[in-house]
Chains A and B, each alone.
Chain A
Amino acid sequence: MPAAKAPTSLRRLFDEIGTVDQVGIEERVAKFTTRSLKKNSKVFGLRLAVSMVDLTTLEGKDTPGKVASLCQKALRPHDVGDIPPTAAVCVYPAMVKHARKHVGGTQVKIASVATAFPSGQAPLKTRLAEVHAAVKDGADEIDMVINRGAFLSGEFGRMQDEIAAVVEACGQATLKVILEVSELETYDNIRAASFLAMRVIRPGDFIKTSTGKTSSNATLGNNQVMLEAIRDHFLATGIPIAMKPAGGIRTAKQALHFLIAVKETLGDEWLNNRRYRFGASALLNDLVRQLEKERTGAYQAPWNFSEATEGY
């Protein structure tokens, strides 16, 4: 009976990795929001954030045309200035081959959600087949969802085995493991799930907060829990794991707060798009808007910024 064993094994895991105090960690992250970025440091942060965006469209109404538009925006976020391209585009598996036509061979990577995103409620075989198909179509990165049901019922072995199977199916592709933090609910659970995932993925693979499909997504609090888990795992094993908050980060100011958390928790080696990403769509234009304001000294009208994405 796996469910009956659950409390003991979770307790054992917490004895090993430690717990999180909700009030304390939320006080810590509130301090990140009081940092004040001016002039060059602001421009540096904004450009860095642009280069970390996984520009995303994950909708039932996505079409090859929409994906083409997304890819153009990723390659060239703004028609004036020297704003860098985003890190990747993030699409459904069926759209990978369309994205490849536009960004294949460029520095913009193709990320694909897979494994019955966002619920993960499909047989493992089906989920793995989806990963294989996406990789075959040219996905550089796979964003999988963990089996939250398995985690919550205490079947940690099963949860980890499934992640390991997806790692294998990825081949050369980078893996991002979505914990779907809103369904794990507590910071303790987020820390536990982070460790379980980190122990079966490869150096440079990601852990990611959310699908963006539930009511609450990335927050500074759950981002911090995961950054601290990555730090503790790195210091213990030497294995660097990357991080991707996703969903709910819509403004440049928010993105800068997340980056300050990275700077003060993991340090300089995580301040690049190999180690940190933003899963977002609306965010990109706000970053561009702020960069244009810094460049020209005035806010530009909204119609000066091309819309290639919506929602998330």
Chain B
Amino acid sequence: MPKTSSKTNPARELVFGDLWEFDPAPETADPKLKPRYDLFINGSFVPPRAGKYFATINPAHETKIADIALADASDVDAACIAAQKAFTSVWGKMPGKERGKYLYRIARLLQDHAREFAIAETLDGGKPIKESRDFDVPMAAAHFFYHAGWADKLEFLAPGKRIAPHGVVGQVIPWNFPLLMLAWKIAPALAAGNCVVLKPAETTSITALKFGEICQEAGLPNGVVNIVSGAGETGAAVIQHPLTTKVAFTGSTEVGKSIMRSLAGTDKKMTLELGGKAANIVFDDAPLDQAVEGIVNGIFFNQGHVCCAGSRLLVQESIADAVLAKLKRRITVLRVGDPMDKNTDLGAINSREQLAKITDLVQSGVAEGAEMHDNGCKLPAKGFFFRPTIFTKVSMSHRIAREEIFGPVLSILTFRTPEEAVEKANNTPYGLSAGVWTDKGSRILKMSTLLKAGVVWANTYNKFDPTSPFGGYKESGFGREGGKQGMLDYLRVV
């Protein structure tokens, strides 16, 4: 029974008990999955030449969903040849206005199949259905709509210069936003007139291969989009293939570095969007409740599997206690559990491997003397789950303050002056994003010039829009995705 009287509650704390429990509210529509997914090459689904498949599992239940084709170098070769052929015979010659029509059609089809894609995304990746439904799928469609508009206006991207597509683009995407990252990559590439060979992440191939079905439904010419599923070796084959004149990668800094090494000496164009360890900076004049909301959104969105996650909270010392108290109270009402439940705020960690990595880093935080707080909620017996976790008493040299955790773990540091805040925020090898919370407009402008980060959010966090370029500084990569800058990365000056 919940406590009901404030007399029994002398500490003046609020009671977030079980007086009004929510019943399960599962999303039950049919994601229309196949038991086995083949490679999408030259407009049709073909089995891998070596005949190998691997299982993809639901991280919330640890059950197998489907068999996914494993592409080897010969499959990648076939895909690249198909893409090259499509580029020279159809897509590269097609007027931009016509290419745009295909992109609009893809965008509308994604909207038509939105529910199906959202459920498939949640099944395969573990993210809460409300995020795949309200964020991933609509944003993916928005990227196709936006870039469709560019297709016949490319000449305005670089006035006075002549620009042309690269040809075949090799793309490798991560598992945190499978369909959305696919859209970020494919939409600008196609709008610019390139053809694509894309490798989805090993644990989340389903929506990418379902996207192949969308391409068929849209009547996209054969070979313009090719999807080759597999693991690291498949990705390396895509990136190193002689026909891919431009490569785009989103993923870990470690893999990004090895890609750069492998491409040294070639004239391939490259954009890399890598890791981050973003500082979310809260000044003492910030609207605290909304800042807390932004902190929560910054680190617990998609279980913290976000490269631009606000994983380091820098809070002004004078308000540190107040912010921590509000933050602790806020995370007690976060609901962790079945990703398919419409009320779930934090779903499953994407894989056993990632859960182990998060656990290891959290243990290092405790061992190094930081103080850990979590919301103490019950976790499902099966599946990969991790409680929303906050660390206080963190210093800049702790591993949890330096390494990307890629999980629902926040490290809180304090600062005294704006200069110290900038110093600490920039004291990282990464530079993808940052957040500033203050009521003072001039301070926002000043901070945004001093922070070495590709994106600086002011009084908000994790806001995305196809029109806004996204990308990093330093070890967070180079090149931009979205907006005019993102388009230019898929074109060359001739």
Give the B-binding residues of A (Cβ under 8 A): 18-21, 23-25, 27-28, 34-42, 44-45, 48, 228, 231, 234-235, 238, 240, 259, 263-264, 266-269, 271
Nearest chain A CB to B159 CB, angstrom units: 35
Q: Which residues of B contact A35 (CB under 8 A)?
A: 22, 342-343
16 A-B residue pairings within 8 Å (CB atoms): A27-B460, A34-B130, A35-B343, A36-B22, A36-B342, A38-B23, A38-B24, A38-B25, A41-B21, A44-B20, A228-B289, A268-B2, A268-B18, A269-B9, A269-B14, A271-B20
Q: Pick from A18, A34, A238, A259: contact of B288, CB below 8 A.
A: A18
Q: Which residues of B contact A240 (CB under 8 A)?
A: 6
Of B3, B16, B134, B325, most A-chain CB atoms within 10 Å: B16
Question: Is B445's beta carbon under 8 Å from chain A?
Answer: no
The distance in angstroms between the C-alpha atoms of A18 and B325, with both chains bound, is 15
Whether A28 touches B20, Cβ cut-off 8 Å, given contacts A21-B459, A36-B342, is: no
Q: Which residues of B contact A23 (CB under 8 A)?
A: 290, 459-460
Whether A20 touches B290, Cβ cut-off 8 Å, given contacts A231-B14, A234-B12, is: yes
The distance in angstroms between the C-alpha atoms of A231 and B19, with both chains bound, is 18
Nearest chain B CB to A17 CB, angstrom units: 10
Complex contact B4–A268 (CB within 8 A): yes
Q: Which residues of B contact A24 (CB under 8 A)?
A: 287, 289-291, 293-294, 459-460
Question: Is B439's beta carbon under 8 Å from chain A?
Answer: yes
Interface string of B11-33 (1 = CB under 8 A from A): 01111111111111100000000
Q: Which residues of B contact A267 (CB under 8 A)?
A: 14-17
Dominant SS among interface residues on chain B: loop
A-B pairs with lowest CB-CB distance, top 7: A24-B290, A36-B25, A36-B342, A268-B19, A21-B290, A267-B14, A21-B287
Q: Pick from B20, B288, B439: contact of A268, CB below 8 A.
A: B20
Q: Which residues of A contact B14 (CB under 8 A)?
A: 231, 234-235, 266-267, 269
Give the A-binding residues of B (Cβ under 8 A): 2-4, 6, 9, 12-25, 130, 134, 285, 287-291, 293-294, 325, 333, 342-343, 439, 459-460
Please, which residue of chain A has its CB at the minimum distance from the CB of B345? A31
The distance in angstroms between the C-alpha atoms of A135 and B387, with both chains bound, is 52
Please, which residue of chain A has its CB at the minimum distance from the CB of B297? A27
Q: Which residues of B contact A21 (CB under 8 A)?
A: 287, 290, 459
Whether A37 touches B23, Cβ cut-off 8 Å, given contacts A18-B288, A24-B287, is: yes
The distance in angstroms between the C-alpha atoms of A262 and B5, with both chains bound, is 17
Nearest chain A CB to B307 CB, angstrom units: 22
Complex contact B17–A37 (CB within 8 A): no
Q: Which residues of A contact B287 (CB under 8 A)?
A: 18-21, 24
Complex contact A27–B19 (CB within 8 A): no
Q: Pick from B285, B333, B459: contact of A264, CB below 8 A.
A: B333
